[in-house]
Structure 1
Amino acid sequence: MATDLHSPLPRSATDLFGDPIDDSHPLWLTPSKFSDPEFDPESYISDLRTFVPFDTLRSELRSHLGALKHELVELINRDYADFVSLSTKLVDVDGVVVRMRAPLLEIKEKILSFRGSVDSSLAALQSRLRQRAQANEAREVLELLLDTFHVVSKVEKLIKELPTVPADWPGSNINSTEKGQISNGISLQHAETGTNLRETQSMLLERIASEMNRLKFYIAHAQNMPFIENMVKRIQNASLLLDTSLGHCFIDGLEHKDASVIYNCLRAYAATDNTNSAEEIFRSTIVAPFIQKVIPHGSSGTVGGSTGDDLEQDYERIKQHIEDDCKFLLEISSTENSGLHVFSFLANSILKEVLSAIQKGKPGAFSPGRPMEFLKNYKSSLSFLEYLEGHCPSRSAVAKFREEPVYIEFMKQWNTGVYFSLRFQEIAGSLDSALTTTALVPSQKTSNLGNSQSLVLKQSISLMDCLRSCWRDDVLVLSSSDKFLRLFLQLLSRYSNWLSAGLSARKTGNAAASSGSDWATSASPDDFLYIIHDLNNLMEEVRGDYLDHVLGLLKSCSSEVLDLVKQSILQGSDSLKVLQPPVINSIVEALVEKSAEDLRQLKGITATFRMTNKPLPVRHSPYVSGVLRPLKVFLEGEQAATYLTTEHRKELLQGTASEITRRYYELASDLVSVARKTESSLQKIRLGAQRRAGASSDVSDNNISDTDKICMQLFLDIQEYGRNLALLGVDATSILAYRSLWQCVAPLERQNTISF
């Protein structure tokens, strides 16, 4: 469209160098489009208005309209003779119209007449079709009623062909009249014919069930009809007889483990959509007796049952009974392409009875108040459910089993949330008790970390025990593994906060500001060595065997979940790593404070040389040998040799030496600054006194001032200090404060060279 809008109008050959044509149009206006059959004025104008003002567009269109009118006048003038002759040819037009109207009216009357006959024929046809539809509907209803009557009669006839129902069958509630109806003189007199009679009866019952299914279909389509209502009693009696006979036949087949009979009865139950009755009969007849023996409940006492609330042995006995008494039925109901998948004997017969027995006989098994027994029973129950799922023929059957209301109700009995709360209080409370202490307590027993270097502090040992408790087999519930992972991170956070609070309290000197921080104010550098050692071992254990153990427990989870778990544990380990620098700083501060006591003797140098005639010093001061003694004693101690790694030893040595040197420089620079200011003031006073007395100065340039003596003493001292640093393995020239100290006190000729 853009190309068309911008295409220019053609110009005549004579207009190439002449004046502009008066009726020329702008490039965006294309009059040729107005004659396009698909021309849409609204869209055309909306497109133009995006880049052409409305007033301009209106002006151009009016101009084009004027041009068209002008062109029309020119055309009329050009062909005026033809235009005038056109009017002379229009003679007797009205007569021609009258002559044309007559045949048209005749045709109209014929069409209306034909249309009326067609409408009457159509109405008659529609009436006949309605009558036909009503007749068909009536016939269908009649056929439905006849089929219903025939099916009811057939069912009653088939019921009469059933073998006699023994009078001692359990649950028989058929009156004498009904028994007479189903009796045909056949009796189970001979044991050798019992199997054939059961199979015959089951086949007949399956056939009756199939007919009853048809009968239900007919009744559903013929509701509220008097004929059907008159047959309701007959249908109910037939249904009652079928259910009773089918139940007795199914029980007989179960007692004799007759596969054919059971198969036929199950198909009959499935045909009548009465699976609940079959499941209930199997539960009460086969499952309930052996469950009652395993887990006695009710008025039968506790004979034969295990004592206590432990379920592990009970489940083992139940599994054996299932293999002996139930497996045959489970195999029949799971036969491929048999249509018996609608039954759920695992859930509605076996699991339902087991749940009821536990609730009545051992209700304490579900109580999380005793965590160890609860977890043992819970895991045994999960194992039992896995055993039941093993009888499912497919994954879809397993999914269906887990969606059963009984299965859901069984899982609701195990309140893992309360169990976790109790475990949380137990594990977290144990760590809190260990951290509520006024001193760091080294333990004499060996930790169970599994390596040659064990944890030292009882607080650290307690943390590791709590961390391991989160994932122990006798504590962990896999369905709550997210909660135990969170507990793991909370334990690490609690330990980290305990250390951080203690270090902060030690730094500020206010242990009362944070409860549980008393240990930090009284801790010695050796105690902090224990902390560094334990932090290293905790990190190695958490990032090593501990992480592998957790990932092994959760191996059934997806790779995304495992990655998140791994990242969480590693981040928890990093929270311990960030505590090492503050702990090392605490050791450095303690050692520096001890060294500062000897550095304070530096102030005595001023009194030694001020206003005295002592010569230039030639040896270092006695205090220098004591400045680094606390650091040396600490590093050569047994604890440092045992618990301090090479990396941390180097870091601690460098940090302590740098901080002591910085203190040394501050004291020395202040001392030299004060000495020089004092020397300058005394010099001014002496010169003023000599001028007033008129005497010449007898002070030669070779005289050595007290400030020079002080600086020389400090220079000798820092040389000895540098040698002592070198003995400890520290290069004094690498310390910025030492270079500044050298520049402060060294003679001019030795300012640029540091040697000692």
Structure 2
Amino acid sequence: MADIHMPPRPMTDIFGDPLDASPLWFKSTSFLSPDFDSESYIADLRTFVPIESLRSELRSYLASLKTDLVDHLNRDYADFVSLSTRLVDVDAAVARMRAPIGELREKVAVLRNSIGESLEKLKDGLRQREEASDAREVLELLLDTFHVVSKVEKLIKELPSTPADWSTMNASCFGNDSLSKETSLQQIENGTNIRETQGILLERIASEMNRLKFYIAHSQDLPFIKNMEKRIQSASSLLDAGLKQCFVAGLEHQDPNTIYNCLRAYAAIDNTAGAEEIFRTTIVSLLVQKIIPYSPSEADGSTSDELEEDYQQIMKFIDTDCKFLLDISSSANSGLHVFDFLANSILKEILLAIQRGKPGALSPGKPNQFLNNYKSSMAFLAYLEGYCPSKSAVLKFRSEGIHADFMKIWNVGVYFSLRFQEIAGALDSALTSSNITILQNLDKSQGNYHGLTLKQSTTLLDSLRSCWKEDVLVFSYADKFLRLCLQLLSRYSTWLSSGLAARKARNIGTSTPPGYEWAINVSADDLVYVVHDVDFLITELANNYPNSVTQLLQSCSDEVCNLVEQSILHAGESLKNMVPTIMATMIEIIAEKSEENLKQLKGITATYRVTNKPPPVRHSAYVSGILHPLKVFLNRDHASYLSNKLRSELLHGAAEKITSRYYEQVSELVNNLRKAESSLQRLRQGAQRRTGVSSDLSEPSISNTDKICMQLFLDAQEHGRNLASLGVTAVDIPTFCSLWRCVAPPESESKISF
């Protein structure tokens, strides 16, 4: 087996790379790029390669290139040297090949010129053919135009200019034979077939005119067409006059076939506005002006700006005098859907009549009348939409410019502003009073006005309900009335919260902002009515009020109704959050009155310090007066306006507040007494040590501090009994337990009993 000699492996470094390998940043393939630039190449490499390393690498690469060149020359040197010996008589061979190639080149040039000439002739022929074709098309177009104009003129001449000419038109249309004469006479007798025949002829002329418009649109710059403009305009004018005459006759006689043909003719010449205007001026205007004259001085009798009765009469005449045309224009597969007589004839005339004859009906300055007229107008629009055969027809009716103009004359925004000032102004006037106003002749057993007691509260509820009254609400502005409703609730809540905050700030010496003077002089009795009204409003806003509002919005989606209800309930939460603040203010006022009796505590100290009074055996007289303001408050008639829940909260809150203040004063008194007694004891002991005299402790005596604490303990027991008489458990009050531990003897501290 032959030995297999592997090629020698190149020398590598310790990382396995060849020792002569180029660094990664040196790419020899870059020199082969067509747009290689040495200066930019060196400038790019110098940013991260030292110039010495770059110079060294380039020199190494140059040396390797030279070596490769020498290797290539040495490898193929023998072939290169022998090449010259094999190239014998090369010039003669080249001369022999050059002659046929030259001949071939000349033949190709001749053929190319021939083909080019043929191609140019072919292109010229095609161009002439195209020009001839275009000229032929133009000529045909002009001939067609001329024929159509002549045909239209001929047909127009057959039209009678007056009803007296109809017999002539009949004779020309139907011939001179006896049968035609009999038909002619029959048509003249009834007049109906004559109008129908005229309508058919007009429709035919209109279709030809439509065709003529197409030709003119494609050749309007040609001199021939410009020369025929007068003839075309004359034919168009005669057609319009004939159409108008026939259409008016059809309307007056309510001839459906004649009207149908005339409408198709108007649609063919794209003059729907002309038919709509003729119907408005011929039929609608005469009838509407009898009901709403353009000049108020022409009206017979009353000059009222109410529109309800006018709309009723207009609807009657539409049913009798317009319905036939509306049915024709809306009939299925008639192609007459391009007409909109509802908007551009009927509604347009009514809009003009109202603006000219009854401009006062559009004035928001009389809100009640304006709202009645607006609702009547919206109902009338709904009545007109009833004549639309499909939903798309309704959308088309609403998209008409006249419909938009009719809606613009009703300035609902100004109406809402006036209602806003009226509703919000009434509440603001009630809330800016310097005192709260209690309604007269309140009788809770028989009920009172809205179940409320304050003028401010009744005004709020009246304002809230006014937002959704039938004679106030505009359904399209329901969102703005909802916002007004929420603003009213916010205003009332702000009036309460800011007033009570001003009262609290006044107690610490801060000046009262204007508008909240009522809260400075308010008594606990007045706050009973306030909290009663707030509680009543919370119940109303949680039940009856949102239900009545959502019933008015039944046509809206369930999502909208839910959002409206949630917004009202959220606004009611602001009132609910006011109840604790009002109750705290009432409790504070009662506690302040009770604090007057607590000032007698100082008399206990004076009594036992000045006189050698024996230890107390009964409570002090002031104790019964501590809870007296609370008892009096709860026994008055106005307390019946408090619900059982609020009454219980008031009782326990006031008892705890009064007891807390009682404890604060007792605790301060006892601490001061014990500090004074401790200081006096230290002074006595120091004097005894200086004199060397010891005190006789065989006969213990009761100090004044002990006597005072005994009196306070008896008073605390009586206070507990007074709390129990009101239905309050004293041990449930933390401050009472602290009071007990402060004054009770050591053996009674752990057990509270009285």
TM-score range, shorter chain: 0.7 to 0.9
Distance in 1 (CA, whole Å) between partners of 2:175 and 2:17 is 119
Q: Partner of 1:364 in structure 2?
A: 360
* Residue 585 (structure 1) shift: 1.1
Q: 1:475 aligns with which of 472, 475, 479?
A: 472
Counterpart residue number, 1:655: 653
- Contact 2:296–2:357 (CA under 8 A) maintained in structure 1: no
In the TM superposition, 1:295-374 aligns within 5 A as 295-298=292-295, 301-303=298-300, 307-374=303-370
User: Hey, what does 1:738 align to over in structure 2?
Assistant: 736
Q: Report deviation, 1:690.
A: 3.8
Cα drift, residue 258 of structure 1? 1.1
In the TM superposition, what whole-angstrom CA distance separates every residue of 1:559-614 from its partner, at most 9, and x where no partner exists? Answer: 55444433332222122122212111110111100111111111112112225433
Does residue 279 of structure 2 align to residue 282 of structure 1?
Answer: yes
Per-residue CA deviations over 1:497-521 (Å, capped at 9, x if unaligned) read: 2222321332233897333333323
Contact 1:596-1:660 within 8 A present in 2 as well:
yes
Deviation, structure 1 residue 375: 0.2
For residues 285-684 of structure 1, the aligned pairs below 5 Å read 285-298=282-295, 301-303=298-300, 307-443=303-439, 444=441, 454-509=451-506, 513-610=512-609, 612-640=611-639, 642-684=640-682
Q: 1:315-364: CA deviations, max 9, x gaps?
A: 11111110111111111111222221111111111011111111222111
SS of equivalent residue, structure 2 residue 599: helix
Q: How far apart, in 2, do the equivalents of 1:40 and 1:723 lie?
A: 110
Please give the alpha-carbon distance, in whole angstroms, between the structure 1 residues aligned to 2:19 and 2:122: 69
Equivalent residue for 1:256?
Answer: 253
Q: For the Cα contact (< 8 Å) 1:601–1:623, is it kept in 2? A: yes
- Give the 3-state SS of the residue equivalent to 2:337 in structure 1: helix
Shift of residue 311, structure 1, vs aligned partner: 0.6
CA distance in 2, matches of 1:271, 1:404: 21
Measure the CA separation in 1 of the matches of 2:103 and 2:736.
131
Are residues 1:206 and 2:203 paired?
yes
Contact kept in structure 1, 2:153 and 2:235, CA below 8 Å: yes
Indicate conservation of the 8 Å contact 1:15/1:21, yes or no. no
Per-residue Cα deviation, 1:657-684 (whole angstroms, up to 9, x for no partner): 2222221122112111221222123323
C-alpha displacement of 1:13: 10
Q: Shift in Å at residue 122 of structure 1?
A: 2.1
Distance 1:619 1:163, change over 3 A: same
Aligned to 2:3: none
Give, in angstroms, the shift of residue 230 of structure 1: 2.4
Post-superposition CA distance 1:267-309 (Å, at most 9, x none): 0001111111111111111111211221133498223x76401
**In structure 2, C-alpha distance between the alignment counterparts of 1:70 and 1:753, rounded to whole Å:** 117
- The one-letter amino acid of 1:292's match is Q
Q: Tell me the alpha carbon deviations over residues 107-143 of structure 1, each in whole angstroms, 9 at most, x when there is no partner.
A: 4444433333232222222222221222112111111
Q: Which one of the candidate residues 112, 130, 133 is aligned to 1:133?
A: 130
Q: Deviations over 1:199-229 (max 9, x none)?
A: 1110010000000111111122222333222
Report the residue type matching 1:591 in the other structure.
Answer: I
The answer to whether the aligner puts 1:91 opposite 2:81 as a matched pair is no
SS in 2 for 1:424: helix
- Aligned residue in 2 for 1:695: 693
Distance 1:205 1:446 in 2: 84
Report what 1:4 is aligned to. Answer: none
How far the C-alpha of 1:418 sits from its partner, in A, is 1.3
3-state SS in 2 of match to 1:613: coil
Q: Distance in 1 between matches of 2:610 and 2:8?
A: 121
Q: Identify which range, 365-374 or 700-709, moves more after superposition.
A: 700-709
Distance 1:300 1:598, change over 3 A: closer
Q: 2:143 aligns with which of 135, 142, 146?
A: 146
- Give the Cα separation in 2 of the matches to 1:732 and 1:54: 93
Tell me the alpha carbon deviations over residues 621-647 of structure 1, each in whole angstroms, 9 at most, x when there is no partner.
22222212222332343332x322333
Counterpart-to-counterpart distance in 2, 1:148 and 1:559: 63
- List runs of 5+ in structure 1 lacking aligned partners: 1-10, 170-177
Shift of 1:18: 9.3
Secondary structure of the residue aligned to 1:242 is: helix
Q: Which is further off, 515-524 or 424-433? A: 515-524
1:218 corresponds to 2:215: yes
Q: How does 1:14-53 map to 2 (within 5 A)?
A: 20-22=16-18
Q: CA deviation at 1:249?
A: 0.8
- Structure 1 residues 477-514: Cα deviation after superposition (integer angstroms, max 9, x where no partner): 12222221221122112212222232133223389733
Question: Which sits farther off after the overlay, 606-615 or 265-274?
Answer: 606-615
Quick one: which of 696, 703, 706 aligns to 1:705?
703
Alpha-carbon distance, 1:312 to partner: 0.6
Inter-partner Cα distance in structure 2 for 1:60 and 1:480: 88
SS at match of 1:675: helix
Residues 427 and 21 of structure 1: CA distance in aligned 2, closer, same or farther (over 3 Å)? closer
Structure 1 stretch 79-88 or stretch 327-336: which is displaced more? Answer: 79-88
Q: Is the 8 A contact 2:452 2:536 kept in 1?
A: yes
Q: Say whether the 8 Å CA contact 1:610–1:706 is kept in structure 2.
A: yes
Q: Give the SS at the match of 1:368.
A: coil
- 1:5 aligns to what? none
Quick one: structure 1 residues 451 and 124, their matched pair in 2 at CA, closer, same or farther if it must change by over 3 Å? farther
**Cα distance in 2 between the residues matched to 1:54 and 1:471:** 85
* Alignment check: 8 A CA contact 1:160 1:182 kept: no
Kindly tell me: are residues 21 and 244 of structure 1, through their superposed partners in 2, closer, same or farther at Cα, counting changes over 3 Å? closer
Summarize the Cα distance change of 1:632–1:88 in structure 2 as closer, same or farther, 3 Å threshold.
farther
Q: Which amino acid aligns with 2:665?
A: L
Q: CA deviation at 1:730?
A: 3.4
Q: Contact conserved, 1:161 with 1:184, CA < 8 A, in 2? A: no
Is contact 1:249-1:265 (8 Å) kept?
yes
Residue 24 of structure 1 and its aligned partner are, at CA, apart by 7.8
Between the aligned partners of 2:542 and 2:584, the Cα distance in structure 1 is 25
Amino acid at match of 1:484: F
Distance 1:221 1:725 in 2: 107
User: Which string of whole-angstrom CA distances, capped at 9 and with x for unpartnered residues, describes residues 143-183 of structure 1?
Assistant: 111111100111111122334523699xxxxxxxx9xx999
TM-score (normalised: structure 2): 0.86
Flag the 1:503–1:86 CA change in 2: closer, same or farther, 3 A: farther
Amino acid at match of 1:743: R
Write the distance in 2 (CA, Å) between the matches of 1:626 and 1:616. Answer: 23
Letter in 1 for 2:469: R
Identical amino acids, percent of aligned pairs: 56
Q: Is the 8 A contact 2:155 2:201 kept in 1?
A: yes
Question: For residues 85 and 642 of structure 2, what CA distance do their matches in structure 1 show?
Answer: 128
RMSD: 4.0
Inter-CA distance 89–150: structure 2 relative to 1 (3 Å threshold): farther
> For structure 2, which runs of at least 5 residues remain unmatched after alignment?
1-5
Q: What's the secondary structure of 2:543's corresponding residue?
A: helix
- Which residue identity does 2:345 align to in structure 1? S
Are the aligned partners of 1:162 and 1:182 in contact in 2 as well (CA < 8 Å)? no
Taking the aligned partners of 1:224 and 1:545, their CA distance within structure 2 comes to: 76
Q: Helix, strand or coil for the counterpart of 2:600?
A: helix
